[in-house]
């Protein structure tokens, strides 16, 4: 139980507890995971008297505040939000429906300076149908079965696969020309214990790789990349990854940067809303 931490844990235990859950409410959390300790200042606050807790990160001239914890968490969030807003633009992530409504009531009046996003969705892999049955899954089912018939095989990634996967990465970059590739080679060269990485091989040659990061019952979909001539391996990689996440009991999947495309493919997966608010610096007045 989260509440136990206010009575039984010291501040270092609390910081570890919150950090283990920081990715639940992040936008593109893998980037944060591989860069925040290098580039950002992480802070935490624990108020045992009010039974509330908060963790936030200062990154350049912006601040990201995580979901508040405990009975007093929301008031602590608001206090810190108003304090930090004097120096930074502040992004608040992962509010519950109740906290979202209170937050909007308190800060929504600042109009153009306050922005709110209410359509970030997660999926529940436990609802994934491995048989891909039904007409909605027809094209995906065809792609997966076709890749299997061609002899494409999926297996776990190993550290000795890095050099070959690096070739796949460079082919993919030349073809797609993405702007968000900073962390992909970091994941492949130094995979964390939380990472699930699968590779696709054809005639003994690696033709694709996919990665998800997991924490508890949460997963973040990092990427799926393939060689130029083997784009069809993508669907089989994604399919096997979803089967793996379901087997592990993952209940909350963030599709990451491939958000729209994957949600269209796996449209039967239920969406879970997450609420996010943003405030430009200095808009909260002292006499409010």
pLDDT band at 117 (very low <50, low <70, confident <90, very high): low
* 116 vs 229 pLDDT, higher one: 229
Neighbours of 134 (CB within 10 A): 10
Kindly list the distances between the CA atom of residue 9 and the CA atoms of 13, 17, 23, 48, in Å, as whole numbers in the listed order: 6, 10, 21, 10
Contact between 17 and 26 (Cβ < 8 Å)? no
pLDDT the model gives residue 23:
41
Give the number of C-alpha atoms closer than 13 A to the C-alpha of residue 115, restricted to the C-beta side: 8
Here the tokens at position 141 are 């089912």
For residue 157, is pLDDT > 90? Answer: yes
Question: Is the confidence at residue 109, as pLDDT, over 90?
Answer: no
Question: What's the whole-number average pLDDT of the chain?
Answer: 75
**What average pLDDT does this structure show over 140-169?**
94
**Calpha distance 220→212 (Å, rounded):** 6
Taking only the tens place, the pLDDT of each residue in 160-213 is 999 999 999 999 988 887 766 667 888 898 887 778 999 999 999 999 999 988
- What pLDDT is attached to residue 115? 63
How far is residue 275's CA from residue 288's CA, in Å, rounded to a whole number?
24
DSSP letters, 57-76, are: EEETTEEEEPPPEETTHHHH
Number of Cβ within a 10 Å radius of residue 121: 14
Q: Is the pLDDT of residue 5 over 50?
A: no
Domains and CATH numbers, the chain: 2-121+274-279 (3.40.630), 125-269 (3.40.630.30)
């Amino acid at each position: 139980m989260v509440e136990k931490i206010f009575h039984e844990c010291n501040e270092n235990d609390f910081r570890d507890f919150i950090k283990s859950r920081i990715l639940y409410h992040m936008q593109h959390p893998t980037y944060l995971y591989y860069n925040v300790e290098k580039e950002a200042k992480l802070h935490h606050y624990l108020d045992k008297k009010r039974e509330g807790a908060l963790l936030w990160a200062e990154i350049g001239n912006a601040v990201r505040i995580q979901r508040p914890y405990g009975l007093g968490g929301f008031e602590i969030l608001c206090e810190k939000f108003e304090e930090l807003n004097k120096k930074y633009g502040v992004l608040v992530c992962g509010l519950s429906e109740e906290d979202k409504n209170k937050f909007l009531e308190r800060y929504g009046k600042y109009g153009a300076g306050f922005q709110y996003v209410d359509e970030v969705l997660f999926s529940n892999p436990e609802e994934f149908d491995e048989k891909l049955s039904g007409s909605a899954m027809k094209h995906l089912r065809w792609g997966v079965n076709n890749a299997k018939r061609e002899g494409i095989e999926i297996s776990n990634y190993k550290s000795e696969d890095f050099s070959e996967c690096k070739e796949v990465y460079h082919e993919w970059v030349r073809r797609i020309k993405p702007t968000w590739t900073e962390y992909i080679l970091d994941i492949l060269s130094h995979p964390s214990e939380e990472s699930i990485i699968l590779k696709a091989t054809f005639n003994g040659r690696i033709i694709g790789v996919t990665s998800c990061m997991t924490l508890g019952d949460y997963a973040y979909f990092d990427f799926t990349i393939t060689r130029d001539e083997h784009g069809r391996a993508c669907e089989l990689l994604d399919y096997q990854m979803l089967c793996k996440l379901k087997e592990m009991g993952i209940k909350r999947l963030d599709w990451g940067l491939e958000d729209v495309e994957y949600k269209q493919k796996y449209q039967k997966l239920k969406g879970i809303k997450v609420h996010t608010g943003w405030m430009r610096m200095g808009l909260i007045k002292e006499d409010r």
